Chains A and B, each alone.
Chain A
Amino acid sequence: MRDPTLRGERLGRQLRELRESYERALAAPRVHERALGDPHVLFEVAGSTFALRAAELGELRNATDLVRVPAGGPLIAGAIAHRQEIVQVIDLRALFELPERGGPAGFVLVLRPLALRTGVLCERLLGLHRVAPDALSRLDRVYASGHFMHGARSVAVLRSEALVQDPEPG
């Protein structure tokens, strides 16, 4: 059994480091945003890792709000209510013919490019990361604009406008 006293000390230290990091971040000098890269939301579907630019997202929600749509086809996982609008949610697993999902659907990423709204169902969020331009490899695909390595993972950067406009198997 681990020592609870050590646990408490570690937690207090982490909080202190968190506060110091927060203060350092606020006090840090401004750097060029382009050099840091755009922030991307990394998520996982059926064991594959994908990324979407944060600027193209409208909201991140729990999948518990998902409502199944009768006769919606394999691509349409359901619909959610987003800011007084009904937004369809697509299933990337069916779109990319991925194998069985690795777990229950946890989140819905609401895309908002070009004032259109579409939701993407994902199983797990991996965080928000800035992707530097030199780390991003360009791809000329219908649904993917590039990819980069996040640790040992190969992450595909999805085209949100393609997913919103033509959610067909590619």
Chain B
Amino acid sequence: MLRRMSIRRQVAFALAIVGGILAVAIGASLYQVRETQRLTGHNLEVRAPALLAASKLLAGVDRSQAELAGGLLHPDHARTHARAAAWLEEVEPALARLEVLAAGGDGAHVQELRSLATGLRTAQEAIEQRGPAAQQSGLELERSAQQAERIRALVLGLVAGEAELLERDAALAREQVAELLLLHWLLLGSGVVAAGLAGSYIGRTVRRRISAESGELMGSVAELRTSSHELSSGATAQVTCMSEFSNTIRELASASVQIVERCRQVARQSEAAVLRCQDGGHAVAQAQEVVDAIKAQIEKVVHHMLELGSKSQEINLAADVITELAEQTTILSYNAAIEAAAAGEAGRSFAVVADQVGRLSDRAKEAVRDVRALIADIQRSSNTTIMATEDGLKAAERGREVQADAGEKMEQIIDVIQNALDSIREIEMSATQQSTAALHVNVGIESAAAAAKRFETSARQCLQLAGALTRSAENLNDI
């Protein structure tokens, strides 16, 4: 399981073990120091004040004894009372200290000491109450002196006991310090040994891992070099593409500007075309009026031509009559000639007349034929004219329809041109937006090209770094 752990975890595990050992050692040391301090502190806090209180008690007893002795020589009850009160103030805390000391130690001495102090105070109070009764006071003084001596002896004994206890505590503390030092050395040694073992194990593991990782690192560096080379090539290609793309976008923007200008030109031309179409529509309307007038005139011509045809028919009837008359005249001239021939010489002049009448009738027939030819020509011309006028009427009607259709087409053309004009304006707006967008895109592309350039530089640096890593990996592999 340990081999499967990472180097960092192995190091952390080893450090945790060493740290644990050191923590146990330090804890034990701290515990030992704390115990020693507690013991020493207890001695210092309890016995030292007791010893000080004992010394103060002894000094107070001596001073009380001296004051009592002086008071007997020079009785001054007020002063004596004050000194007794001061003595009590000094003795009472000392007694309290001693009681505390006695609670943890030799209680019999303290009880005795307290009873002696009580007796001493009682004696002192008795001295104060009796005042001038010197004799009794002397007795009391003597008794208090005895009690004071007894107190001194007890205090000295107590001090001696405490000194012995202190000596014993000091010896115990020295032993504990020695044990602590030994424990420290043992823990330090075990820590060093554990650290050495862990370091050796970790060193082997690290070397093995370094060897494996350096192999992988060299492979990765090789791949990194390949990737960096590809990245560099790609970045170079990307820079080139970006440059070409930027040029293309600039050309696109330029083309958009040209499109905008062309759209404006086309819009102006479309507006002119709309005006022209509107003029054309007016012209078509006027042409329709003209065509209507022409149609009316043609209808009049047709009417007159029909009347002319009717008159020609009447002329034909008249020609028929003339022809019949000529025929009859011819027959009459023949008959006249026949009669003249029957008359012989007498009818010679009459024969001439008959001959002339016959010729005249012949001329009349020829004239009638000419008239008929003329009428036929007129009728043909009339028919041709009528057909032409009918064609003209049809053409005029068709022209009117065509003009009406042209007018509608003109309106449709105007609508189409108007729609085209709207579309062109939308195209112009879109082209303007496209131009602006192209410029923005070009700015973005130039930024991207700069980024690609930086990326290319970074890729080359990566390539150089890969070389450096290869060397480092080789050096690491040599370790």
Contacts and interface: CB of A to CB of B under 8 A. Distances in A.
Interface of A: 1-2, 4, 7, 10-11, 14-15, 18, 21-22, 25-26, 30, 33, 38-39, 41, 53-55, 57-62, 107, 125, 127-128
Nearest to A106: B327
Nearest to B367: A11
B381 A128 contact: no
B96 to A, nearest CB: 177
18 contacts: A1-B380, A7-B374, A11-B370, A18-B356, A25-B356, A30-B348, A33-B345, A33-B348, A39-B337, A39-B351, A53-B341, A54-B341, A58-B338, A59-B338, A60-B334, A60-B338, A125-B334, A128-B334
B12 interface: no
Contacts of A57: 338, 341
B366 interface: yes
B338 A14 contact: no
Contact of A128 (B358, B367, B377): B358
A41 B363 CA distance: 19
A59 B335 contact: yes
A21 B338 contact: no
Given A26-B352, A54-B341, A61 B331 contact: yes
B359 interface: yes
B265 to A, nearest CB: 61
Nearest to A22: B356
Nearest to B345: A33
Contacts of B374: 2, 4, 7
Contacts of A41: 334, 338
A70 to B, nearest CB: 28
Nearest to B341: A54
A26 B352 CA distance: 7
A128 B337 contact: yes
Interface of B: 327, 330-331, 334-335, 337-338, 341-342, 345, 348-349, 351-353, 355-356, 358-360, 363, 366-367, 370, 373-374, 377, 380-381
A62 B331 contact: yes
A25 B381 contact: no
Q: Is the interface of A mostly helix, strand, loop or mixed?
A: mixed
Given A25-B355, A25-B356, A60-B334, A15 B363 contact: yes
Contacts of B349: 26
A54 B344 CA distance: 11
A11 B367 CA distance: 7
B356 A7 contact: no
B338 A22 contact: no
A135 to B, nearest CB: 18
Given A22-B356, A39-B341, A60 B377 contact: no
Q: Is the interface of B mostly helix, strand, loop or mixed?
A: helix
Contacts of A2: 373-374, 377
Q: Which 6 A-B pairs have the closest CB atoms?
A: A54-B341, A22-B356, A1-B377, A60-B334, A25-B352, A57-B338
A22 B352 contact: yes
B331 A107 contact: yes
Nearest to A23: B356
Given A2-B374, A53-B341, 4 more contacts: A22-B359, A33-B348, A62-B331, A128-B334
Contacts of A127: 358
Contacts of B360: 18
Contacts of B356: 18, 21-22, 25
A57 B355 CA distance: 16
B341 A55 contact: yes
A108 to B, nearest CB: 10
Nearest to B328: A62
A7 B370 contact: yes
A18 B342 contact: no
Nearest to B376: A1
B363 A128 contact: no
Contacts of A33: 345, 348
Q: Which of B330, B338, B348, B359 has the most CB of A within 10 A?
A: B338
Contacts of B366: 11, 14
A60 B341 contact: no
Nearest to A15: B363
B202 to A, nearest CB: 138
B18 to A, nearest CB: 145
Contacts of A125: 330, 334
Given A1-B381, A11-B367, A39-B351, A21 B334 contact: no
Contacts of A53: 341
A64 B338 CA distance: 20
A130 B353 CA distance: 16
Q: Which of A15, A33, A128 has the most CB of B within 10 A?
A: A128
Contacts of B367: 11
A16 to B, nearest CB: 11
A4 B370 CA distance: 9
Contact of A14 (B337, B341, B353, B363): B363
Nearest to B380: A1
Given A2-B373, A7-B374, A22-B352, A60 B359 contact: no
Contacts of B377: 1-2
Contacts of A128: 334, 337, 355, 358
A82 to B, nearest CB: 12
Contacts of B338: 41, 54, 57-60
Contacts of B353: 22
Contacts of B345: 33
A162 to B, nearest CB: 19
A120 to B, nearest CB: 13
A55 B339 CA distance: 8
Contacts of B335: 59-60
Nearest to B366: A14
A125 B373 CA distance: 23
A37 to B, nearest CB: 11
